[in-house]
């Protein structure tokens, strides 16, 4: 009896140890999975606008980017690091392999102090010699180790060539946002002048075609920027950009299906063409302002575009009023000529009409 009664406590103890170990491992796994870069608070109270979870590396990359100065501030975190391990943040600006890559390296000495430096990987040797990076000037390089986590901090001044595509993308889309309203104003306000027909149509088509080509090029550079900026998501800006491309393409193809002026479907085509055109202009303006916010340009650029939009609005208001005046005047003259023609048809109406004009003039 004594032997039999002694086994259950051993079994229970073993089961308890197994469950305890499993629970600890599970809690560690869940805690690592629960970590996201957006919820992390740095001990130094630093704030980074963007971050990317590199879960397959147990790492996180945080950064701020100043478009006007071309400066990049980064914080690279590596979790699960033992005190004797080293960590490196590596980037290859010219290829995809390790050879030719450039790194920021950090590790902890046995006395607790940190060692951090720059390194160029020129071969597949096991050592990483200290040497300055060539693609960027590095400053404010430092590193910390605590709670099995190494964090590498650095500020990088990027050369102008790396930010050129951002400027091209912005210029193309801003030019589209300016050309399209000009094209609409030409079609809206020049066609009331008989002497401007058909010149107004060709001017309108030229402005809109140029705007469309710039828009397509802007989308292409935007796709390039997206592919080169892994981890950066500008969802709303991208969706509006794709929608603009679709609507603008529909406008181009709609010209091929434009009915003649006297066709019964011409009215419906005009309603569609005008509605889509105004929608494209509105979305273009909205997306341009989103682009300003994304690039974090100096306020003078946004202020300049706001001034352009305000000038457009002011011109539209007074030109619209003047156009309505011309249309009203033209209709009045046409109605008067029609009235005179009817009165003169019986041979007696012409003289009373002349007397009426004389009386009106004398007043």
Is 11 within the bounds of a domain? no
Rounded to 5°, the CA angle 103-108-109 comes to 125
DSSP class of residue 259 equals P
Q: Does 152 score more than 90 pLDDT? A: yes
Q: Closest by alpha carbon to 169, among 217, 235, 207?
A: 217
Q: Are residues 306 and 173 in the same domain?
A: yes
Sign of CA dihedral 243, 244, 246, 251: positive
Query: Residue 257 is encoded by which pair of tokens?
Result: 């299906």
Q: Are residues 154 and 171 in the same domain?
A: no
Query: Residue 82 is encoded by which pair of tokens?
Result: 């033992």
State the Cα–Cα distance between residues 97 and 288, nearest whole angstrom: 37
**pLDDT band with cut points at 50, 70 and 90 for residue 143:** very high
Output the pLDDT for position 344. 53
Is 146 within the bounds of a domain? yes
**In this structure, what are the phi and psi dihedrals at residue 350, rounded to the nearest 5 degrees?**
-70, -45
Output the pLDDT for position 359. 37
DSSP states along 110-121? TTS-EEEEEEE-
Q: Are strands 149-157 and 114-120 parallel, antiparallel or unpaired?
A: unpaired
Helix H, strand E, coil C: the string for 191-214 is CCCHHHCCHHHHHHHHHHHHHHHH
Is 130 within the bounds of a domain? yes
Provide the whole-model pTM: 0.51
The residue among 110, 130, 158 that closes a domain is 158
The count of domains in the chain is 2
CATH number at residue 87: 2.60.40.1210
Q: Which helix (H) or strand (E) holds 62?
A: strand 59-66
Rounded to 5°, the CA angle 14-20-22 comes to 105
The residue among 138, 158, 178 that closes a domain is 158
DSSP class of residue 355 equals H
pLDDT in tens, 194-222: 777 788 888 888 888 888 888 888 888 88
Q: Are residues 277 and 138 in the same domain?
A: no
Q: Are residues 59 and 130 in the same domain?
A: yes
CATH number at residue 274: 1.20.120.1770
**pLDDT band with cut points at 50, 70 and 90 for residue 317:** confident
Output the pLDDT for position 75. 93
Mean pLDDT of all residues belonging to the chain = 77
Q: Are residues 199 and 108 in the same domain?
A: no
pLDDT in tens, 128-142: 888 888 777 888 999
**In this structure, what are the phi and psi dihedrals at residue 311, rounded to the nearest 5 degrees?**
-60, -40
Is 249 within the bounds of a domain? yes
Q: Are residues 115 and 264 in the same domain?
A: no
Strand order in the sheet with 102-108: 86-91, 102-108, 114-120
Q: Are residues 48 and 181 in the same domain?
A: no
In Å, how far are 52, 97, 107, 183 from 230, measured between CA atoms? 9, 17, 27, 37
Output the pLDDT for position 153. 95
User: Percent of the chain beyond pLDDT 70?
Assistant: 75
State the Cα–Cα distance between residues 52 and 32, nearest whole angstrom: 15
Is 136 within the bounds of a domain? yes
pLDDT in tens, 16-62: 444 444 444 444 444 444 456 778 888 888 889 888 888 778 899 99
Which conformational region is residue 258 in: left (phi greater than 0), alpha (psi within -120 to 50 degrees), or beta? beta
Residue 295: which domain range?
A: 164-330
How many CA atoms lie within 13 Å of 94's alpha carbon, on the beta-carbon side? 11
Q: Does 5 score more than 80 pLDDT? A: no
User: Among 88-97, 141-150, 171-180, 228-237, whose mean pLDDT is lowest?
Assistant: 228-237
What's the average model confidence in pLDDT over 241-267? 87
State the Cα–Cα distance between residues 132 and 105, nearest whole angstrom: 12
What's the average model confidence in pLDDT over 345-350? 48
The residue among 158, 187, 221 that closes a domain is 158
State the Cα–Cα distance between residues 134 and 157, nearest whole angstrom: 11
Q: Are residues 225 and 119 in the same domain?
A: no
Q: Are residues 63 and 96 in the same domain?
A: yes
Q: Are residues 126 and 258 in the same domain?
A: no
Is 20 within the bounds of a domain? no
Sign of CA dihedral 297, 180, 283, 319: positive
């Amino acid at each position: 009896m004594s032997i039999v009664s002694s086994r259950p406590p051993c079994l229970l103890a073993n089961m308890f140890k197994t469950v305890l170990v499993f629970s600890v491992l599970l809690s560690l796994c869940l805690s690592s999975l629960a970590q996201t870069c957006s919820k992390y608070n740095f001990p130094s109270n630093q704030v980074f606008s963007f971050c990317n979870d590199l879960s397959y590396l147990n790492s996180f990359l945080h950064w701020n980017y100043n478009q006007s100065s071309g400066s990049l501030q980064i914080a690279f975190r590596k979790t699960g690091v033992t005190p004797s391990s080293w960590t490196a943040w590596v980037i290859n600006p010219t290829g995809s392999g390790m050879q030719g890559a450039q790194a920021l390296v950090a590790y902890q000495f046995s006395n607790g102090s940190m060692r951090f430096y720059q390194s160029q990987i020129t071969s597949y040797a096991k050592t990483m010699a200290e040497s300055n990076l060539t693609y960027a000037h590095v400053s404010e390089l430092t590193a910390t180790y605590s709670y099995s986590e190494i964090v590498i901090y650095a500020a990088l001044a990027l050369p102008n060539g790396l930010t050129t595509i951002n400027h091209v993308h912005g210029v193309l889309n801003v030019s589209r946002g300016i050309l399209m309203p000009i094209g609409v104003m030409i079609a809206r306000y020049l066609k009331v002048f008989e002497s401007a027909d058909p010149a107004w149509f060709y001017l309108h088509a030229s402005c809109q075609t140029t705007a469309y080509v710039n828009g397509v090029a802007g989308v292409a550079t935007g796709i390039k920027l997206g592919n080169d900026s892994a981890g950066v998501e500008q969802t709303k800006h991208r969706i509006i950009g794709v929608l603009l491309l679709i609507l603008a393409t529909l406008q181009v193809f709609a010209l091929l299906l434009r009915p003649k002026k006297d066709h019964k479907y011409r009215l419906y085509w005009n309603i569609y063409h005008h509605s889509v055109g105004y929608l494209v202009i509105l979305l273009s303006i909205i997306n341009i302002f989103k682009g300003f916010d994304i690039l974090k340009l100096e306020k003078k650029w946004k202020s300049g575009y706001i001034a352009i939009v305000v000038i457009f609005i002011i011109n539209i208001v007074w030109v619209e009023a003047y156009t309505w005046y011309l249309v009203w005047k033209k209709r009045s003259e046409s109605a008067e000529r029609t009235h005179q023609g009817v009165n003169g048809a019986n041979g007696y109406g012409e003289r009373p009409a002349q007397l009426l004009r004389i009386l009106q003039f004398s007043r």
